[in-house]
Amino acid sequence: MTIIAPSILAADFARIDEAIAAVQAGGAEYLHLDVMDGRFVPNITWGPKIIEDLRKLTPMVFDAHLMVVEPERYVDDFRAAGCDRITFHLEATPHAQRLLVHLRDIGAKAGLAICPQTPVALLQDVIEECDTVLVMSVNPGFSGQAFIPRAFEKVRELRALVDLRNPACLIEVDGGVSAQNARDLVEAGADALVMGAALFGKEDPAAELRRVRALLA
Ligand code: DX5
Ligand code: ZN
């Protein structure tokens, strides 16, 4: 079954507990947490303290997406804050292989993200060390951007690589995902869909989540 990972970047932070309860009630498996540093991306979000506090609100899988330079400096803190899966950007560190191994050592699922301009071929020598590959289908930094259709081809290409070399690795797609493209993404090979504005922009995020789930059935 496809994993849905609501991105709370798009939620109202003054009512974050309600937003989390809504997507949990809607049956979301993961809670996607976008960490931005104002350097790797032109936006700033939150650090480990907020995640540690959110951890008390839900047993959902915490799926952290680090859009920060030098992610190796912060992963231990995010793990200690309660992140189960930690994904960093290939473009943000020269030592991705080492960091992937370290993430598994500290008990996290190890994820590697690629921006729209980064080819899938660059994952060839680290795919065995990945528990997740996250394909960005927008330029990272903001919720509510338009989906870049080239992501379909990248997911297909990645599906072939993953099936051959590491079938347990999850393929996650992030950016501009909605009821309009969810089914095509799953058919292309996606296992997990991050959804921000498409859920939290709706009056009833839980109902929209169930609608997306029904479209995928
Ligand atoms: C963007 C983030 C996404 C974002 C997705 O940099 O990585 O997770 O919140 O939001 P939507 O689904 O609105 O594009
Ligand atoms: Zn994200």
Spacing, Cα 134 to ligand 1 middle (Å): 12
pLDDT reported for residue 5 = 98
pLDDT reported for residue 70 = 98
Q: Is the CB of 194 under 6 A from ligand 1?
A: yes
d(C-alpha 212, C-alpha 217), whole Å: 9
Are the C-beta atoms of residues 122 and 174 closer than 8 Å to each other?
no
34 included as an active-site residue: yes
Burial 58-87 (b: 16+ CB within 10 A, else e): eebbbbbbbbbbebbebbeebbebbbbbbb
Q: Which pLDDT band holds residue 45 (cuts at 50, 70, 90)?
A: very high
pLDDT reported for residue 51 = 98
105 included as an active-site residue: no
d(C-alpha 70, C-alpha 90), whole Å: 10
Q: Give the structural domain span for 203.
A: 3-216
Q: Is the CB of 7 under 6 A from ligand 1?
A: yes
Number of structural domains found in the chain:
1
Are the C-beta atoms of residues 160 and 178 closer than 8 Å to each other?
no
Q: Which ligand 1 atom sits nearest the alpha carbon of residue 147?
A: 14
| CATH value at residue 100 | 3.20.20.70
Phi, psi of 194 (to 5 degrees): -85, 135
Considering 37, 63, 174, 191, which one is annotated as catalytic? 174
Residues 149-166: what's their mean pLDDT? 98
**Statement: the pTM of the whole predicted model exceeds 0.95:** yes
Q: Is the CB of 6 under 6 A from ligand 1?
A: no
Other Cβ atoms within 10 Å of 29 Cβ, number? 16
DSSP code of residue 40: S
Are the C-beta atoms of residues 159 and 171 closer than 8 Å to each other?
yes
Residues 8-23: what's their mean pLDDT? 96
Q: Is the CB of 198 under 6 A from ligand 1?
A: yes
